[in-house]
Structures are given as structure tokens and as C-alpha cells.
Structure 1
Amino acid sequence: MNEFFAGVLAALMSMLPGGAAEDAGYAGYLEADYVYAAPISAGRIAGIAVTEGQAIAAGELLFTLESGQQQALLDAAEARVEAARATLQNLESGGRSEEIDVIRANLGKARADLALAQSNLARSEKLLAAGTVASVRVEQDRAALAAAEAQVAQLTAQVNVAELPARDAQQVAAEANLAAAEADAGRVALDLEERHTRAPVGGTVDRLFYAAGEIAMAGAPVVAILPEGALEARFFVPEAERAALAVGQTVSVSCDGCMAMTAVVTRLASEPQTTPPVIYSREERGRLVYLVEAQLDAPGNLRPGQPVTVTP
């Protein structure tokens, strides 16, 4: 119910003799503040999970937007997280065990070649002493031994390096990359989740503004929800009787075709609903009416807009 309607009703009440108060009570209507569910970002509606008049609970899915692009971005972000995590684990533990096994196998072969080179040199030195081989053969065996020793030393160093963890600076950089990748994945996951709009409150679906396949703009309401316990009676009290009501007071509410209900006054307007002159005469004060709001205890199946009568 809009302010224009309230103003018209107040004006009508002020035209009645003695204001709005009658033996039957004060005239008014039922009203409620709706909650509107809207998407955070624009997109085509893939599906609407509720219907008008359906009772829903807080957190229940209302509608979804197409999310193929967001899903692809999430898959890519998660892949980057796995790559960053693998890099960090590799730096923390050194080389992979398979790589180290290959280096160790090469080291074993190099040590065998070293042993053979040592044996060949010892034999050629004996033969040289006996005068059965030339000195050039001994020089060749000595060169082969030196090469074998160098190969063993190189592979031993490679094994030692592969088994070492990363240096501090490298590890810090890898940890930062992993944290950044995880943060990016979290942001993309949130974007994907926001394509699924859920009910912020429990209540009844009052109206659907879009249908599946239509494009909803960011912030444009798609579903209107009448929250549980949001129904209230709004009625008008003459100026002379306003002081008799107080916030927290219990009043009786009735309407055509419904059982009597109780409501608790939650608000007394501080300004009248008409525009009187600055100086109020006794006659003018009698024409003033004030808006009062009272929260219904058990509204049942009543809806906003229902005319009601309120009695203190």
C-alpha cells in the first residue's frame, strides 16, 4: 500500500464528523513491507524454482542465472591452485623421487665406470713396468680415470642438490603464489554462487517479475516475498483520541469474513495525514487523523490491502 493511498484514506477519514473514530472502531487496512530478491549481477534467467503463493524458508533457492562462463573461470582458477600447490610441495621436499632415482642410477653406473678405470690403470702401470706396453697406454688410462672421477663427483652433487628443500626466498614466493591462486579461486567461486539467488527471509512468494529465459538486470527484483509475521494493520486515529493509544498496547482487529484478531501497536505517527494551517483551531484539530501501525499476532491467510476495523 503506497503513501498516496494512505493519504487519500486519511483525507476521507478527516471529512467524517468527529474524524475517523466511530462506535465500530477505526478504519484502516492491512499492509506489509515486502522483501525483494534481486541478482547481484545481470544475466539470463536459467530457471525459477518457486511459484507465486508458495511458502518458502530462508535460504531456499529462488532462481538461477546462466553460469557457464563463471564455471569455466572457476575450473581454470582451481587448476592454477593445483599447479601452485604442486610447485610449493616440490620446493619444500626437493626434487621428485623419480628424478632422484634416475640420478642415483646414473651415479651407480659412474661409480662402476670409475672402478673399471682404476683397474685398467693399475694393470697398464704393471705392464709398463714390465715393458710390455707403451707409456701412451698408461696416459690414456689415467685420463679415463680422471673422467670417471669427475662424472661420479658431478652426479653425487646432483643427488645432493635434488634432495635439498627450496631456499627461503623461493619458498616464500611459491607460498605467495599459492595464496593468490586460492584467493582468486575463492572469488570466482563466490561469483558462481551468486548466480544462485536464495531467499533472504522465510515467507510467501507474492509475485514473480520475470520468467525463465528473460534477462534480469543487476539489482532488479525478480521475486517479491511477503515475510512471515510482516502483516500489520494501519489505521487512522483522530487527534482528540491519539493520546489514548500507546506503543505496545493491544488492540482488536476485525474484517469482513474473518475472525477477530489481536495486534500490538508498534508505531504512532508524529505528524497528521492532512496539511492543515500552521495555527490549529479547535475545529481544525478535530479534522486531523494520525496513522497508527499495529503488528498482527496471527494474520492467518489475510493479505495486504484488506480493509479492517480496529478497536482499542
Structure 2
Amino acid sequence: MIVNRMISRAAAALIVLLLAGCGSGEGTFVGYVDADFVRPAAIASGRLTTLAVHRGDAVKKGALLFALDDAKEIAARDAARAASAQAEAQLANLKLGKRPQEIALIRAQLAQAEARRDLARLTFERARTLLAQNVVSVERRDTAEAELRAAEAQVAELQAALKVAALPARDDEIKAAAAAVETAKARLAEAEWQLRERRVTAPSPASVEDTYFEPGDFVPASTPVMSLLPTDTIHVKFYVPQEIVPKLDIGRRVSIACDGCAETMAGKIAFISTQAEFTPPVIYSETTRAKLMFRIEAKPETPAALRPGLPVTVTVE
């Protein structure tokens, strides 16, 4: 949101004239209505697809004000969501180890290797016995022994593979996969935020003062699309002499009257300035001190009845 402080120069000039031309009276002072205007804008540029409000409309907090085209943001969100799901699946797979089907295959291979080992052992024992009887040569016995050692090595290899298959992945692999999950989640959160920012809502109850674009227009980044007047920012400014300031306190009740107002409305002092206004730089002396005026701000209880720039009369109770 882009917030601009708008002070009615015409009203300020009017106050100066009124202060110069007439006294404030006993506890009664001249002032004017002011407010903080809000000018909503999107953080990124785009084409305006929806203008949900128009000049003069009253909007509630959270109501949709306008929306920009979001096809690219939706695609980015969907891609980030898929990447996040993939990263989570990869992490879960590493934590579980091999699938049951893969473990079953290793078990079958191990059973075959054990059978070959047992056969190789019998062949070796027979060759050794026959060698003692001078029936076979030494080379035949050595060949049988080599085949036995190879069969035993294969059995040991498959037994180790079966143990590893039942274990999860290494700690460093799991940590890397977990980090990938967090990265994917962060990218998804950013993509979702970018998508949400294409729809701008009212930050508080307000009235629409003006709109600057129409549907189909291209809106540059951070460019206000409209001007809002939040009712909770409406306040009254009035000015009091220096000797009155020590008698005022925050929360002090006041009565506010204006031309055309059906009745006087109540309010409370919300701000007391510490700086003199409406006077040029002067040397503070006993003769000039009474000319210094101080700005006071009061919050009316029914602000919707007041408009910025409207002259008012404030009575301190």
C-alpha cells in the first residue's frame, strides 16, 4: 500500500484567515478535517483484469479492490508445488530404504548363490579325496577350490547387500534431501505469495475516492490503482495559543461542529504538537509568546460524517 498524507491547502489557508480575523473564544477554536489517504498498488506490473470497486463505493476490510492477470503466477505456483512434492517423496524414499520387491529379489539371488556355494564345496571335497587316491590331478583340485572360494565370496556379497537394503540411506544423503525439501517449500511459499499479491484487498473500511485505471489497462509496478479514504484515519486539526496547551491532555473530550452538520459530534484529543505553527520565526519574548499557535488533533466518534478540508469549530470540554 502507498499512503500519502493529504492536507487541504485551501482549508489550511482558510484557517489562517480565520485565525487572523477572529479570536478563538473561551475554549472554542477553529480547525479543519484531515485524513490519511491510502493509494493501493500491486508490487509487480501487469494487466488489470478486475476492478471490483468504483468511485463513491464503501468497502469493508478485506474486500477485493482489483486484480491483475495471474496466469504466469499460477503456472509458477503449480511448478513449485510439484517440485515440493517430488522433494518430499525423495526424502521419504531415502528414509525407508529399498522397496520390498527389491529386497525380495536380493533374497532370491542370495539363495541361488548359497546353492552354488554348497555344490562347489561338495565338488572341492570330492576332488580333494580323489587327489589323495591319485584319481585326479592337482590342477583339478585347485580349480574346484577356486570355484568354491568364488561361490563363497558371492554369498558374502549378497548377504551384505541384503543388510544394506534393509537400512535407510546414509545420514548425509538424508540431510541433503531434507534441505532440498525445505528449499522447495520456501519456493512454493514465495510462489503462493506472488500469486496472492495479484489480488489487492482493502486494508480497512474505507470509501473509494477515485480510480485511475480501467480493466485492460497495463499497470506499472507500485503504481496506485485507486485512492481510498479510510474512515478510521479521519481526524480534526485545530490550533490553540501557547497558554492553552498545558491545560490539554490526550483523551480530553471535545465537541465538533460544522456548517451543514445536523448536530454537534463528540471526539477526543489524540495528539498535541510540541512545535508552534502558523507563525514565522521570531525571537521568543514576552511580547510575542502569545502569538504562537500549537496544532491539536482530535478523533471524532462518528468520522464518516466529515470530509477532508471541511472547516470545523472545536470546543474543548
* 2-structure distance, mates of 1:240, 1:153: 98
Q: Provide the C-alpha distance between the structure 2 equivalents of 1:116 and 1:137, rounded to a whole number of angstroms.
A: 15
Per-residue deviation, 1:70: 2.4
**Could you say if the C-alpha distance between residues 15 and 290 of structure 1 is closer, same or farther in structure 2, counting changes exceeding 3 Å?**
same
Please list, as runs of the form range in 1=range in 2, the aligned pairs for 1:170-249 lying within 5 A after superposition.
170-237=173-240, 239=241, 242=244, 246-247=248-249, 248-249=252-253
RMSD, aligned CA = 4.1
Q: 5+ residue gaps in structure 2? A: 1-5, 130-135
Deviations 1:118-173 (A, max 9, x none): 899999999xxxxxxx9999999988877766655444433222222222222222
Partner Cα separation in structure 1 for residue 161 and residue 174 of structure 2: 20
Q: What is the distance in 1 between the residues matched to 2:284 and 2:121?
A: 122
1:103 maps to: 106
Pick from 156, 161, 164 the counterpart of residue 158 of structure 1. 161
Match of 1:131 in 2: none
Counterpart of 1:69 (choices 67, 72, 82) is: 72
Report the Cα offset of residue 39 of structure 1. 1.7
TM-score (norm 2): 0.74
Please list, as runs of the form range in 1=range in 2, the aligned pairs for 1:16-31 lying within 5 A after superposition. 16=21, 19-21=22-24, 26-31=29-34
Indicate conservation of the 8 Å contact 2:91/2:177, yes or no: yes
State the percentage of identical aligned residues. Answer: 34
Q: Report the 3-state secondary structure (helix = DSSP H, G, I; strand = E; otherwise coil) of the residue aligned with 2:262.
A: coil
Question: Aligned to 1:273, which of 266, 274, 278?
Answer: 278
Say if 1:15 and 1:287, in contact at 8 Å, map to a contact too.
Answer: no
Assess, with a 3 A threshold, how the Cα gap between structure 1 residues 259 and 172 changes in structure 2: closer, same or farther: same
Q: Does 1:294 align with 2:298?
A: yes
Following superposition, the deviation at residue 62 of structure 1 comes to 2.5
What is the number of residues matched between the two proteins?
306
3-state DSSP class of the match of 2:267? strand
Aligned residue for 2:3?
Answer: none
Aligned-partner SS, 1:11 = helix
Check whether the contact 2:29–2:313 (CA below 8 A) recurs between aligned residues: yes
SS at match of 2:209: strand
Within a 5 Å distance, the mapping from 1:103-142 to structure 2 comes to 103-110=106-113
Secondary structure of the structure 1 residue equivalent to 2:36: coil
Partner of 1:129: none
Distance 1:287 1:86, change over 3 A: closer
Which segment drifts farther, 112-121 or 257-266? 112-121
Q: CA 1:96 to 1:20, structure 2 compared with 1: closer, same or farther past 3 Å?
A: farther
Question: What TM-score results when the alignment is normalised by the length of structure 1?
Answer: 0.75
Any idea what SS the aligned residue of 1:275 has? coil
- Residues 236-293 of structure 1, C-alpha deviations (whole Å, 9 max, x = no match): 45x48845962424224233152221222333453232437547796x7787655443
Describe the shift of the 1:87–1:277 C-alpha distance in structure 2 as closer, same or farther (beyond 3 A): closer
Kindly tell me: are residues 306 and 3 of structure 1, through their superposed partners in 2, closer, same or farther at Cα, counting changes over 3 Å?
closer
Cα distance change of structure 1 residues 47 and 112 upon mapping to structure 2, 3 Å threshold: farther
